[in-house]
Amino acid sequence: MIGSGYVGLVSGACFADFGHSVVCIDKDVKKIAALEQGQIPIYEPGLDELVAENVKAGRLSFTTEFAGPVGDADVVFIAVGTPSRRGDGHADLSYVYAVAREIAAAVTGFTVVVTKSTVPVGTGDEVERIIRETNPAADVAVVSNPEFLREGAAIADFKKPDRIVVGLEDERAREPMVEVYRPLYLNYSPIVFTSRRSSELIKYAANAFLAMKITFINEVADLCEQVGADVQAVSRGIGLDNRIGSKFLHAGPGYGGSCFPKDTLALVKTAQDHGSPIRLIETTVAINDQRKRAMARKVIQACGGDVRGKLIAVLGLTFKPRTDDMREAPSLAIIQALQDAGARIVAHDPVGMEAAKPLLDERVTYAASPYDAAAGANALVLVTEWDQFRALDLGRLKSAMETPVLVDLRNVYSREDAARHGFSYTSVGRGV
């Protein structure tokens, strides 16, 4: 498993747990040293135990050494990062291609090389070309096997996938791929075998569709506010139609994270480059960008139209609960916009405060609990729906605050609950 980041580490640990012998490779000496000490560089529930168990059982190990483990392997996974390239939004494939060159030099015997990183259509062809060019004697089959893990639920997603997608051009890779996923295959998880290009596109199309679905309900939420309807009722009412499905219909401050923003942008670029623009996703990207600032305006409005000098308590900084990931978190843009409007910010997050600090303005202060954050605040803004924020003592919060304004960007509370405790309450898409 080349790359011990989020996808590599979770996949490596889960494959080891299936009984395979897995070596996780990373260039980062510090990261590997920490992993060897049992320290997991990311926050993912259950991952530390899974890693520890499999290391103890001798099925999982970590190294910075490349050639030996790759030479021994039947299947080599590429799970390195593909960040957005500065300037043009394309996925930056330099890490993937560098790894392909190293693999070419290290493989011995027939080896299946699998891209697990999210890569644009055609990357598998290029990986294969690079390997053949670097080492014409290399006997490899290059496969696409995208990952559909959600942060915070990655282990469950890996072990109970809705589907496994395998894109291959060389039939010799089919049996090793079935073998790698045998426990899931025996559990009737569907495996979709398809061409490499289709597989690569499935990943982007899936993420883009989900991002579009969220954006759709966010716009419906805005309309609900205008016409006096309730977006949660609308979500339920449409989601019960199996053709639509109830998931990813929660209105909120816009999607964030390391995947949707990057992947939607990369799909837009690929489509434009091929003269086949996907306008729905172009629009999705634009709407989602605007939404974060719109959420800040909502807060300002809830505060009577002016936040100059006011203290605003922000609950939840990470892009979603059960992760410490701050990438593209809506909180970043919302806090920035509130500061631009003259507000003072105090923030609390159960896990993400350390990761947030370097990304936020130094004037932001941090509180050890939601109640500490509320002390003297003029408004409380719930940005990320951590479970810890679902049953807050509203009475206690109110008595700590200067003015009882609650802006609930995740629709965790009800207007009635908030009103009972004397809060002026604003949520998303609940215009009733």
Of 14 and 303, which CB lies nearer to ligand UGA in the complex structure?
14
Q: Tell whether residue 159 is among the known ligand binding residues.
A: no
**For ligand UGA, which is the closer residue by CB, 260 or 423?**
260
Q: Name the site residues for ligand UGA (rule: CB under 6 A).
A: 118, 147-151, 207, 210, 214, 248-250, 252, 255-257, 259-260, 319-320
The nearer residue to ligand UGA, 111 or 384, going by C-beta atoms, is: 384
Q: How far is the CB of 206 from ligand UGA (least distance, A)?
A: 7
Q: Do 274 and 268 touch, CB atoms closer than 8 A?
A: no
Kindly give the residue spans of alpha helices, DSSP state H, lying in 140-274.
154-159, 174-180, 182-186, 196-227, 231-239, 260-273
209 is in an annotated binding site: no
Angle CA 94–99–102, to nearest 5 = 130
In whole angstroms, the minimum distance from the beta carbon of 259 to ligand UGA comes to 3
Catalytic residues: 259
C-alpha dist (Å) from residue 274 to 121, 218, 267, 271: 11, 30, 11, 5
Q: Is 115 annotated as ligand-binding?
A: no
The total number of residues shown for the chain amounts to: 432
Say how far apart CA 418 and CA 415 lie, in whole Å.
5
| Closest to ligand UGA by CB, 54 or 207 | 207
Question: In degrees rounded to 5, what are phi and psi of residue 85?
Answer: -75, 135
Q: What is the DSSP letter of 262?
A: H
**CA-CA distance, 58 to 400, in Å (whole number)?**
53
Closest CA to 18 of 48, 66, 60, 76: 60
CB of 353 to ligand UGA, least distance (A): 18
Distance CA 156, CA 58 (A): 22
* Residue 256 known to bind ligand: yes
Are the C-beta atoms of residues 350 and 388 closer than 8 Å to each other?
Answer: yes
Please state the closest distance from residue 359 (CB atom) to ligand UGA, in A: 16
Nearest distance from C-beta of residue 176 to ligand UGA, angstroms? 23
Which of 73/149 has CB closer to ligand UGA? 149
Is 406 labeled as ligand-binding? no
118 has binding-site annotation: yes
The 10 Å CB-count burial string (b at 16+, else e) for 182-198 is: eebeeeeeebebeebbe
Binding residues for NAD(+): 26, 31, 82, 118, 151, 262, 327
